[in-house]
């Protein structure tokens, strides 16, 4: 009898753990890409992607928002979309593409997912999976309780889970085919060839072979790569639009910049040797020398580039970053000011300048200007660090209501919910204006929605 109870106890413990595991895996499948990723901000790269994406969105009839483009710090070949028409592109995709046409092909494919409503449909499919999985687990639990045998329960559970997994994979294969077909139509509508899309798919095929990924369609969430390449080959052969295009100078510079910041310095210098005097190569070399703390060599190169292109805001931005990160605040501030003057609507440049001003013993007048600049930036593109800087600016002005509110917005975004509530309440105690009071109330409502205690009721 004691042995039977022990088996029953272990089975229920296993069953509970498996239920939690399946629910967690389903949640991760839906949200991990958008919530558990490392993002980087770079105005130059985002602007390039926006130029490629806007015509595709326009052809698809999707509202375009420049601030819905995100760069993922991941070397793998991938891109994806999420709710709100947000587009995420891996750095590996950009660095390993040969030209803009390959990037456009990737963006067109992901836009096809938006057109097909695949994000919402995938969520609904996941809910169905959870319900079927839970039903099978309950049936398995009943079998275990009735027979005292875990093997009978496992047979029921594994059979159902296998069917659910196969159904989900077949569904995703269908979505990928649909997105490919939509991408071809979008490329045609924007008078671009599918050849870049095909070439990029060949890169994925090559990567899969190197990494040993099985091409068995039964166990893949995408169609077999060779099948997709054949489809894209046919589309490219029947496209009336040019199939070859030299990469633009803008694209070459972006690839060089990302490589210089993200890859090992020695690897970058092999790719862009000192004998290479192109703008892209010297751009990369300047960044690498900066990372290696060879500041004189770095500044020499970036000064050369600025003298050749004095109106290039990104060169001034890099020079400002070099100064800022080596503690030279005043020259950093001057370079960030030049960059912003050349690109006044850049939210990132606004934050860069605000940071430099706050580190430079600002006057009360400068603090007011900085607070206004940060508010403008945050309206355009909400940024976690921007809220922290705004809290500092208002703190320097002794505006406790706005300072605590900005601090609460920052805390909310880093997941410090208890601190968020305390800071929001402090803001309420500091006689906020009616307009600010509405913002604080909105913040508290958002906090309530995100509260772990609320989520536990589900």
Of 355, 430, 419, nearest in space to 388 by CA: 355
At 226 the pLDDT is 78
Domain count, the chain: 1
Task: Give the Å distances, CA to CA, from 252 to 44, 146, 202, 328, 363.
Answer: 12, 67, 21, 30, 42
Q: What is the mean pLDDT of each run of 10 residues along the chain (458 residues)?
A: 39 39 39 64 97 97 94 92 90 95 95 77 47 47 49 45 44 76 94 92 79 51 71 89 84 98 97 98 98 97 98 98 98 98 97 98 98 96 95 98 98 95 97 96 94 49
Q: Which helix (H) or strand (E) holds 403?
A: helix 400-413
For residue 123, the enclosing domain spans 2-237
What residue has token string 């589900």? Answer: 458
Of 195, 168, 186, nearest in space to 113 by CA: 186
| Domain contains 448 | no
| Domain contains 217 | yes
| Long-range contacts formed by 421-428: CB under 8 A, 24+ apart | 421/447, 426/400, 427/400, 427/401, 427/402
| Domain contains 31 | yes
Token pair in block for residue 213 = 């990924």
| Domain contains 207 | yes
* pLDDT tens-digit series, residues 190-244: 999 999 999 998 888 877 776 665 554 434 445 657 788 888 889 988 899 987 6
| Domain contains 211 | yes
| Domain contains 297 | no
| Domain contains 133 | yes
At 172 the pLDDT is 62
> Kind of pairing, strands 86-90 and 39-40?
unpaired
Token pair in block for residue 287 = 């960044």
- List the 86-90 sheet strands across, edge first: 39-40, 69-72, 86-90, 79-82
Question: DSSP for 260-301?
Answer: HHHS-HHHHHHHS-TT--SHHHHHHHHHHHHHTT-HHHHHHH
SS3 141: helix
Tell me the C-alpha distance between 193 and 108, whole Å.
Answer: 11
At 153 the pLDDT is 46
| Domain contains 129 | yes
């Amino acid at each position: 009898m004691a042995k039977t109870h022990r088996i029953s106890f272990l089975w229920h413990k296993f069953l509970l753990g498996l239920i939690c595991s399946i629910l967690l895996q389903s949640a991760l499948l839906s949200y991990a890409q958008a919530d558990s990723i490392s993002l980087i901000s770079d105005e130059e790269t985002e602007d390039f992607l926006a130029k490629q994406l806007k015509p595709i969105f326009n052809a698809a009839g999707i509202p375009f928002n420049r601030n819905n483009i995100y760069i993922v710090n991941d070397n793998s070949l991938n891109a994806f979309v999420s709710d709100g028409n947000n587009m995420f592109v891996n750095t590996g995709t950009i660095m390993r593409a040969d030209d803009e046409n390959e990037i456009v092909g990737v963006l067109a494919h992901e836009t096809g997912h938006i057109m097909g409503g695949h994000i919402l449909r995938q969520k609904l499919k996941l809910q169905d999976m959870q319900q079927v999985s839970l039903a099978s687990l309950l049936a398995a639990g009943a079998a275990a309780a009735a027979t005292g045998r875990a093997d009978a329960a496992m047979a029921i559970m594994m059979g159902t889970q296998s069917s659910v997994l196969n159904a989900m994979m077949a569904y995703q294969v269908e979505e990928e085919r649909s997105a490919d077909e939509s991408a071809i139509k979008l490329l045609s509508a924007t008078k671009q060839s599918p050849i870049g899309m095909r070439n990029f798919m060949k890169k994925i095929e090559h990567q899969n072979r190197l990494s040993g990924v099985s091409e068995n369609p039964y166990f893949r969430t995408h169609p077999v790569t060779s099948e997709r390449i054949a489809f894209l080959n046919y589309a490219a052969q029947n496209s009336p639009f040019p199939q070859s295009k030299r990469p633009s100078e803008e694209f070459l510079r972006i690839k060089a910049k990302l490589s210089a910041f993200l890859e090992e310095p020695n690897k970058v210098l092999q790719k862009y040797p000192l004998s290479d005097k192109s703008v892209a190569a010297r751009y990369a070399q300047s960044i690498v020398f900066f990372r290696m703390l060879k500041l004189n060599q770095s500044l020499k190169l970036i000064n050369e580039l600025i003298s050749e292109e004095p109106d290039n805001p990104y060169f001034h931005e890099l020079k400002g970053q070099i100064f800022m990160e080596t503690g030279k605040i005043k020259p950093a501030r001057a370079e960030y000011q030049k960059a912003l003057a050349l690109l006044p609507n850049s939210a990132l440049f606004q934050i860069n300048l605000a940071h430099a001003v706050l580190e430079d013993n600002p006057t009360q007048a400068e603090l007011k200007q900085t607070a206004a600049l940060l508010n403008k930036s945050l309206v355009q593109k909400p940024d976690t660090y921007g809220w922290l800087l705004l809290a500092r600016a208002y703190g320097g002005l002794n505006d406790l209501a706005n300072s605590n509110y900005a601090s609460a917005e920052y805390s909310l975004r880093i997941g410090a919910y208890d601190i968020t509530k305390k800071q929001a309440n402090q803001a309420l105690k500091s006689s906020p204006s009616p307009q600010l009071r509405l913002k604080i109330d909105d913040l508290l409502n958002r906090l309530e929605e995100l509260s772990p205690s609320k989520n536990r009721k589900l």
